[in-house]
Amino acid sequence: DLARETAIREIRADILALPSIRKHRLSNTEFSTREFVLVRVRLENGIEGIGEAAVLGGPRWAEESVESIQSVIMRYLAPALEGCSASNPAEAAARMGRAAFRNNSAKGAVETAIFDALARTLDVPLATLFGGALRSRVPVLWALASGDADQEVAEAQDKLDRREHRDFKIKLGFASPEEDMRRLTRLREGVPGMRRLVVDVNQGWTEASCRRYLPHLQELGVDLIEQPLPGDDFEGMARVAAHSPIPLMVDEAAFTHREIARAGNMGCGSVYSLKLVKSGGLLALGQAAHVAEAAGMELYGGCLLEGSIGAAAHLAVFASLPRLHWGCEHFGPRLHVSEIVRDPLKFENFELCLPEGPGLGVHLDEDRLREAVRAA
Ligand code: MUC
Ligand code: MG
């Protein structure tokens, strides 16, 4: 029977590293090599599922590092899953929830690998396990984050010319707000063909700078302001949002369903960024979307710069959502020099394509994988 055939036999977690095409800067971290953990779950039937645990430049965007992810998986999550079957991902998620507090990136990757192994066993795309796909493509933006205004203008124009991206996000908060305004102005003037512009401050501003620079952001036609204040400043976000003609997006502030409901109901923002590393599993990711909407927020398909494995996992859930108002930001597969899959996700006509085929729809490339293990 299915439960016996899909019993979890082995769980592996390897630390990998891939160079990025350029330095990526955020208010509180930066990196030119992306480290992540590849999780592999082998079932009794011999089928293997894969999952990706992302971090950004060490334990800085959130508290997890590749080292903590690997050891939490091997020491706590894998033992908790002994005797569990991939035919019951909800049971696997519940066991991991009891075995470890938070550690969402680790849990999310293991749950992804379990779902992938189940979908491959059933020979269906992963989206089928979330109710089926309502869309096969999702609009995808690109993030500018080198901090060098000329480079950013050239990069954005190139993405537009290739019809890969017409919506952009720019990372602010690592320089002074004045410098940020200069970079933004350069970008708006230098790339007139750009459609939407999102600014992500990654918790880097104060309430005073928000008030002071809101009029500039409005003049520059900014469409969305992501997490300008520290994640735990719900009251400040609510006050800024109440003044802002531009919608605010809640990112680092809300991981759990209760945090999402609180952020929405307090008016901290009118858009929520969905991320596997915040929800801690694909089941919870889908639920987060419904909680956010119920609390009055529109949905944005967020990422932590995952490659094709993590992006495909998010897409399987995003494809099944009734609404995804702001599209997604899964440009990660193009930010890294080489990927560890044979079939990286496709970008066409400003959209990211949902991969076809059973499970996640992507397959490991063993040669590239060996290089990425060596680099780590
Ligand atoms: C974040 O805070 O949104 C996603 C895209 C990007 O450039 O950084 C990440 C994390
Ligand atoms: Mg963000």
Dump the DSSP string for 8-31.
Answer: EEEEEEEEEEEEEEEEEEETTEEE
Taking CA atoms only, the protein residue closest to ligand 1 atom 8 is 304
Among candidate residues 107, 169, 171, 275, the one labeled active-site is: 171
Ligand 1 closest atom vs CA 329: 5
- CATH code, 326: 3.20.20.120
CA 263 to CA 132: how far, in whole Å?
A: 29
In this structure, are residues 302 and 250 in contact, taking their beta carbons and an 8 Å threshold? no
Could you tell me where the beta strands, DSSP code E, fall in the chain?
8-26, 29-43, 48-54, 137-139, 142-144, 168-171, 197-200, 224-226, 248-250, 271-274, 298-301, 347-348, 351-353
Ligand 1 closest atom vs CA 24: 7
How does the average pLDDT of the chain come out, rounded? 97
pLDDT band at 288 (very low <50, low <70, confident <90, very high): very high
Answer whether residue 200 is part of any domain: yes
Model confidence pLDDT, tens digit, residues 116-138:
999 999 999 999 999 999 999 99
CA 276 to CA 318: how far, in whole Å?
A: 11
Q: Are residues 330 and 346 in the same domain?
A: yes
Q: Six-digit token pair at 232? A: 């735990």
Among candidate residues 35, 52, 252, 329, the one labeled active-site is: 329
Asked whether 329 lines ligand 1 (CB < 6 A), one says: yes
Answer whether residue 66 is part of any domain: yes
Measured at the CA of 180, the angle between CA 176 and CA 183, to 5 degrees, comes to 140
| pLDDT exceeds 90 at position 171 | yes
How far apart are the CA of 160 and the centre of ligand 1, in A? 20
Model confidence pLDDT, tens digit, residues 32-83:
999 999 999 999 999 999 999 999 999 999 999 999 999 999 999 999 999 9
User: Nearest Cα to 312, choosing from 287, 326, 332?
Assistant: 332
How far apart are the CA of 98 and the centre of ligand 1, in A? 29
Asked whether 202 lines ligand 1 (CB < 6 A), one says: yes
Q: Which residues of 340-376 are buried (b: 16+ CB within 10 A; e: fewer)?
A: bbebbbebeebbbbbbeebbbbbbbbeebbeebeeeb
Q: Are residues 83 and 69 in the same domain?
A: yes
Kindly report the number of other CB atoms within 10 A of residue 132's CB atom. 11
Q: Are residues 181 and 259 in the same domain?
A: yes
DSSP-based three-state secondary structure for 180: helix
CA distances to 13, 41, 44, 70, 239 from 9, in Å: 14, 8, 6, 18, 51
Active site residue 171: yes
Answer whether residue 98 is part of any domain: yes
Strands 224-226 and 248-250, bridge-based pairing? parallel
pLDDT at 153: 98
Taking CA atoms only, the protein residue closest to ligand 1 atom 9 is 304
Ligand 2 being an ion, which residues bring their Cβ within 5 A of it? 200, 226, 251
pLDDT band at 374 (very low <50, low <70, confident <90, very high): confident
How far apart are the CA of 199 and the centre of ligand 2, in A? 9
User: Nearest Cα to 95, choosing from 109, 83, 113, 112?
Assistant: 83
Residue 359: in which H helix or E strand, if any?
Answer: none
DSSP-based three-state secondary structure for 140: strand
Q: Are residues 312 and 242 in the same domain?
A: yes
Where in the sequence is the domain holding 158, given as residue range(s)?
131-353
How far is C-alpha 193 from the geometric centre of its chain's CA atoms? 26
Alpha carbons within 13 angstroms on the beta-carbon side of residue 265 total: 8
User: Nearest Cα to 54, choosing from 337, 319, 309?
Assistant: 309
Answer whether residue 358 is part of any domain: no
pLDDT at 194: 97
Q: Are residues 16 and 51 in the same domain?
A: yes
Answer whether residue 361 is part of any domain: no
Model confidence pLDDT, tens digit, residues 212-269:
999 999 999 999 999 999 999 999 999 999 999 999 999 999 999 999 999 999 999 9
Q: Six-digit token pair at 76? A: 């706590």
For tokens 């590239």, name the residue: 368
pLDDT band at 105 (very low <50, low <70, confident <90, very high): very high
Length of the chain: 376
DSSP-based three-state secondary structure for 355: coil
Q: Are residues 113 and 141 in the same domain?
A: no
Answer whether residue 359 is part of any domain: no
Asked whether 143 lines ligand 1 (CB < 6 A), one says: yes
Dump the DSSP string for 290-336.
Answer: HHHHHTT-EEEE--SS--HHHHHHHHHHHTT-S--TT-B---HHHHB
Asked whether 251 lines ligand 1 (CB < 6 A), one says: yes
Measured at the CA of 352, the angle between CA 60 and CA 204, to 5 degrees, comes to 25
* Ramachandran region, residue 8 (left: φ > 0; alpha: ψ -120 to 50; beta: rest): beta
Taking CA atoms only, the protein residue closest to ligand 1 atom 2 is 202
Answer whether residue 169 is part of any domain: yes
Count up the domains in the chain and report the number.
2
CA 47 to CA 73: how far, in whole Å?
A: 20
| pLDDT exceeds 90 at position 191 | yes
Q: Are residues 56 and 147 in the same domain?
A: no
pLDDT band at 1 (very low <50, low <70, confident <90, very high): very high
Q: Are residues 166 and 34 in the same domain?
A: no
CA 357 to CA 346: how far, in whole Å?
A: 14
Q: Are residues 116 and 138 in the same domain?
A: no
Model confidence pLDDT, tens digit, residues 267-277:
999 999 999 99
Asked whether 200 lines ligand 1 (CB < 6 A), one says: yes
Q: Are residues 122 and 188 in the same domain?
A: no
Asked whether 145 lines ligand 1 (CB < 6 A), one says: yes
Q: Are residues 123 and 136 in the same domain?
A: no
Q: Are residues 334 and 201 in the same domain?
A: yes
- CATH code, 119: 3.30.390.10
Answer whether residue 207 is part of any domain: yes
